């Protein structure tokens, strides 16, 4: 080894990195790359933009290579920047785990929990998190809600601690999954839609109705398209809305029918302005999963949350079954009433 290389490493650590980089610079660089913007990084870290630029310049000088490329429309890390970003993420994950373990040793239940879920889980996950945080008041929680494609991307990148998703990918072997709550798909309409009076509506009839669909990349859309494909039908998609709540408003506004998870009616229940239609083959039974990357050990907090959530599965299922039952009973009562009226006439 040359004399210069000898001075570059001390105790197995690259001396120039220890002397000339700071955690603050790494934190700034991580935020710039993750958010793809100097402005957003500055906002997130409560810094001014010149501070962000200066610190990034210092880090670039230490690395002696450009770290970000701003030539396109979106700021991107260079190859060197990408390597640095991955290293920083590992360092930060290690430090966060260390913090949790230290707190554990002190008998304090502290730590960080980053949960990322498909849109359907946003209707019950915050409630479980609320209960969990009453038992663990000192934890720092973040909840990211996005569609199936984005959740998969984040899971494969190991961006979060735990995920709630639909069907897990079949070809990924470094992912651990735990079957979780039921996720029934139903057909929704406004309360005054003529189809609310009918029972066992054929799928062909549904395919003719204008539908409001989620965006490409959504698990709900994927299930819906597979169903129509299986029956060699083409749905009449009138419009796309990238939000379950937006779709429910569209349904109430008469823009069309929609296929969504029954979980989306969690708050308003059967008394709200949305009705569930009796369509053949529905509700489509689907399942949710808790998942995490198997690349590193779960932090004690994540492990505790995983167990906490799994225990709540029967409660979530019972609630959904009861809600579906309420819709069915109301329809049955309504149909009996209509039949009686017709007989009298």
Contacting residues toward ligand PGA, per CB under 6 A: 118-120, 147-148, 166, 183, 214, 218-220, 261
Residue with Cβ nearer ligand PGA (42 or 186)? 186
CB of 180 to ligand PGA, least distance (A): 12
Count of Cβ atoms closer than 10 Å to residue 151 Cβ: 26
CB of 223 to ligand PGA, least distance (A): 6
CA separation for the pair 164, 184 (Å, rounded): 15
Quick one: 211 or 220, whose CB is closer to ligand PGA?
220
- What the block records as the tokens of 220 is 């709900």
Which of 148/193 has CB closer to ligand PGA? 148
Measured from the CB atom, is 45 or 177 closer to ligand PGA?
A: 177
Please measure the distance between the N-terminal and C-terminal CA atoms of the chain and give it in whole angstroms.
102
Residue least distant from ligand PGA (Cβ): 219
CA-based nearest residue to 262, from 312, 220, 291: 220
- Report yes or no: 189 and 211 within 8 Å, Cβ to Cβ: no
Q: Shortest distance, CB of residue 244 to ligand PGA, whole angstroms? A: 7
Distance in angstroms (rounded) separating the CA atoms of residues 43 and 233:
48
CB of 118 to ligand PGA, least distance (A): 4
Distance separating alpha carbons of residues 28 and 17, to the nearest angstrom: 16
Shortest distance, position 116 Cβ to ligand PGA, whole Å: 11
In whole angstroms, the minimum distance from the beta carbon of 220 to ligand PGA comes to: 4
Q: Give the pairing type, strands 162-165 and 185-190.
A: unpaired
Nearer to ligand PGA, 190 or 219 (CB): 219
* Identity of the residue, 21 or 261, whose beta carbon is nearer to ligand PGA in the bound complex: 261
CB of 145 to ligand PGA, least distance (A): 8
Q: CA 123: distance to chain centroid?
A: 11
What CA–CA distance (Å, rounded) separates 218 from 231?
21
Do 47 and 37 meet the contact criterion of CB atoms below 8 Å apart? Answer: no
**Minimum distance of ligand PGA from residue 183's CB (angstroms):** 5
For ligand PGA, the closer CB: 32 or 279: 279
Beta bridge partners of 118: 146
Rounded Cα distance between 204 and 295, Å, is 46
Q: Which is nearer to ligand PGA, 21 or 119 (CB)?
A: 119
Alpha helices in the chain (DSSP H): 3-8, 15-20, 23-35, 38-45, 49-63, 79-105, 125-135, 148-157, 203-208, 219-230, 244-252, 300-311, 313-344
């Amino acid at each position: 080894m040359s004399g210069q290389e000898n001075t570059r490493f001390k105790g197995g650590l690259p001396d120039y990195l220890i002397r000339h980089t700071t955690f603050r610079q790494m934190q700034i660089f991580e935020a710039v790359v993750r958010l793809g913007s100097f402005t957003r990084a500055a906002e997130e870290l409560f810094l001014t933009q010149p501070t962000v630029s200066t610190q990034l310049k210092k880090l670039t000088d230490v690395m002696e290579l450009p770290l970000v490329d701003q030539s396109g429309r979106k700021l991107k890390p260079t190859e060197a920047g990408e390597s640095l970003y991955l290293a920083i993420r590992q360092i930060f994950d290690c430090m966060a785990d260390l913090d949790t373990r230290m707190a554990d040793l002190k008998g304090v239940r502290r730590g960080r929990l980053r949960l990322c879920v498909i849109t359907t889980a946003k209707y019950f996950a915050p409630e479980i998190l609320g209960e969990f945080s009453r038992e663990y008041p000192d934890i720092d929680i973040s909840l990211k809600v996005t569609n199936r494609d984005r959740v998969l991307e984040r899971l494969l990148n190991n961006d979060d601690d735990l995920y709630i998703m639909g069907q897990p990918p079949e070809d990924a072997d470094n992912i651990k999954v735990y079957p979780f709550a039921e996720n029934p798909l139903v057909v929704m309409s406004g309360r005054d839609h003529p189809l609310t009076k009918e029972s066992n509506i054929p799928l062909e009839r549904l395919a003719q109705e204008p539908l409001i669909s989620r965006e490409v990349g959504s698990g709900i859309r994927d299930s819906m398209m597979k169903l129509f494909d299986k029956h060699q039908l083409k749905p009449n998609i009138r419009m796309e809305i990238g939000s379950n709540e937006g779709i429910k408003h569209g349904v109430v506004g008469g823009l069309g029918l929609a296929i969504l998870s029954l979980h989306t009616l969690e708050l308003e229940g059967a008394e709200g302005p949305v009705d569930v239609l009796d369509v053949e083959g529905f509700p489509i039974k689907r399942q949710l999963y808790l998942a995490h990357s198997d690349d590193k050990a779960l932090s004690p907090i994540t492990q505790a949350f995983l167990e906490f959530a799994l225990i709540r599965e029967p409660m979530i299922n019972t609630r959904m079954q009861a809600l579906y039952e309420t819709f069915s009973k109301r329809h049955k009562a309504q149909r009996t009433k209509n039949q009686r009226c017709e007989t009298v006439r």
